[in-house]
Amino acid sequence: MFPAVSLVLLCALAVVANPITVNNSPISIPIVKRLNLTGESTIAALDRARVRSMRSGTFARPTGAKAAASVFNFPVINEVFGYIATVGVGTPPTDYSLIIDTGSSNTWVGASQAFQETNSSVDTGQTVSVFYGSGFFLGEQFTDTVTIGSLVIPNQGIGVAIISEGFSGADGILGIGPVDLTEETLFPNDTTTVPTVTDNAFSQGLISAHEVGISFEPTSTTDPFTNGELTFGGIDSRKFTGPITFVPITTTSPASEFVGINQSITYGTAGASILNSTAGVIDTGTTLLLIATDAMDRYVDAVGASSEPDEATGLFTIPAENFANLESLFFNIGGTSFEFTPNAQIWPRVFNTLLGGNNDTIYLVTGDIGSDTGSGLDFINGMVWLQRFYFVYDTGSSQAGFATTYFTDTTTN
């Protein structure tokens, strides 16, 4: 047993000192939240498919000819519940609506709107493919000038889809995760990585800090709604309230390959343990808050939720009388406790029909990740969590930062 003082010291060491923060970077772009669930799958099933890909490292495999042969029996899933940024490609730029994804790192276009080649478009002769679990694309790798707000990035590697599935309503993905996730996505140069827009903007001297700040906000409107913001090379101090807590990217694999961190979760004022400190991922491309199966069991017991997910939506439900007594979840990250209110733990009821559910049921935003604690990827803090906290991915220093916002305690029901 460690004396208490050692634990305090360990916690202090875990917090990296002096992260670079650049306030009010001029490069902030609005992002739109969109929900468009079509086809047979539920959000919970899509999220779990994505987790399976993350675990098996199949994001980047198979490539080239192998990929071409296997795509035709890939399960077809249509989903867009994402935060979408308008990104220009080419000279002059054509605008594409891209899903912002910190859980993958290839940027590509062509899923809905066809790619418009211009005189700055260069075909590299490589093929490119990424399998996300909940979708995939296969195409040709180009370099081109990419325009994000006032940021104009020449020679950015971008994929141009020939085939894709799972992205109706979006043109592709703006992948801003760790660059190593692009390994083995090109063919035949499968050891070549593709620097992300953040990496190129920084190495070309267009931004002074190698980081991106992400602001999502909860809403109770189901229409596409501009309520998020993506900031390159800094953070936007108008978008958060408290100090930013930075923690290093976790060393535990496979969470370490993504924007992975260590965190623990407790429930209620009594501090009931739901998840002891363990590794997981912060991901703008996952919808739900996913936690290990044993942790989900404890949460379900603690709050009095349904013991099984609802069949139509794949989501756990909570009776109204238990919702009335629901307490906060507390996320401990780097020694800071982030309170996730009862209201944050349920879907705004206006979404119920879109999710495939009915109006009288209360659906929880937390789901089962599909394996017990100890897998090296024991949680994913997805969009429903990120709507309550500001998120900084300090790519250059391999750390992630979190802060409370004006929406942390907001009521959306």
Ligand X SMILES: *[C@@H]1O[C@H](CO)[C@@H](O)[C@H](O)[C@H]1NC(C)=O
Among residue numbers 279 through 308, which ones bind ligand X (CB under 6 A)? 279, 298
Which runs of E-coded beta strand occur in 268-318?
Answer: 272-282, 289-291
Q: Which stretch binds ligand X (CB under 6 A): 15-23, 128-136, 245-253, 315-323?
A: 245-253
Q: Provide the H-helix boundaries in 57-196.
A: 64-70
* String of contacts with ligand X for each residue 197-236, x by CB under 6 A: ----------------------------------------
Q: Please give the helix or strand (H or E) that residue 329 lies within, else none.
A: strand 329-333
List the one residue from 276, 337, 411, 413 that touches ligand X (CB under 6 A): 276
Write the binding mask 126 to 165 for ligand X: x where contact by CB under 6 A, - elsewhere.
Answer: x---------------------------------------
Q: Around Cβ 81, how many Cβ atoms within 10 Å?
A: 24
Peptide bond preceding 188 in cis form (omega within 30 of 0): yes
| 147, 364 Cβ separation under 8 angstroms | no
Piece of the chain touching ligand X by CB under 6 A; list 50-58, 249-257, 310-318, 330-338: 249-257
Nearest CB to ligand X, comparing residues 78 and 366: 78
In the complex with ligand X, the residue whose CB is nearer, 262 or 345, is 262
**β-strand pairing of 94-101 with 151-165:** unpaired
Q: Is 190 annotated as catalytic?
A: no
Nearer to ligand X, 70 or 192 (CB): 192
Which of 283, 310, 368, 378 is an active site residue?
283
Stretch that binds ligand X, among 69-77, 210-218, 229-237, 271-279 (CB under 6 A): 271-279
Q: Which residue is nearest to ligand X (CB)?
A: 169
Provide the minimum distance between the beta carbon of 309 and ligand X in the complex, in angstroms, as a whole number: 20
CA 230, 377, 334 angle in degrees (round to 5)?
65
Answer yes or no whether residue 273 interacts with ligand X by CB under 6 A. Answer: yes
Q: How far apart are CA 196 and CA 395, in angstroms?
A: 10
CB of 396 to ligand X, least distance (A): 17
Shortest Å distance, C-beta 79 to ligand X: 9
Which region among 22-30, 120-128, 333-341, 397-405 touches ligand X (by CB under 6 A)?
A: 120-128
Is 159 within 8 Å of 26 (Cβ atoms)?
Answer: no
Residue 283 to residue 38: CA distance in whole angstroms: 22
Q: Distance between CA atoms of 405 and 28, rounded to whole angstroms? A: 17
Using the contact rule CB under 6 A, the part of the chain among 127-135, 171-179, 246-254, 377-385 near ligand X is: 246-254
Q: Read off the tokens for 152.
A: 């104009």
Largest CA distance in the chain: 65
Neighbours of 277 (CB within 10 A): 12
Which helix (H) or strand (E) segment holds residue 151: the answer is: strand 151-165
Interface residue with ligand X, options 21, 116, 121, 192 (CB under 6 A):
192
Q: Which is nearer to ligand X, 247 or 344 (CB)?
A: 247
Q: Which of residues 340-399 bind ligand X (CB under 6 A)?
A: 350, 353, 359
| Tokens linked to 381 | 């803090």
DSSP string computed for 158-221: EEEEEEEES-TT--EEEE-S-GGGGTT-EES-TT-----HHHHHHHTTSSSSS-EEEE----S-
Task: Tell me whether residue 101 is one of the annotated catalytic residues.
Answer: yes
Could you give the residue numbers annotated as active site? Answer: 101, 283
Query: Can you give the binding site for ligand X, defined by CB under 6 A?
Result: 36, 38, 78, 80, 91-92, 119-120, 124, 126, 168-169, 189, 192, 248, 250-252, 262, 273, 276, 279, 298, 350, 353, 359
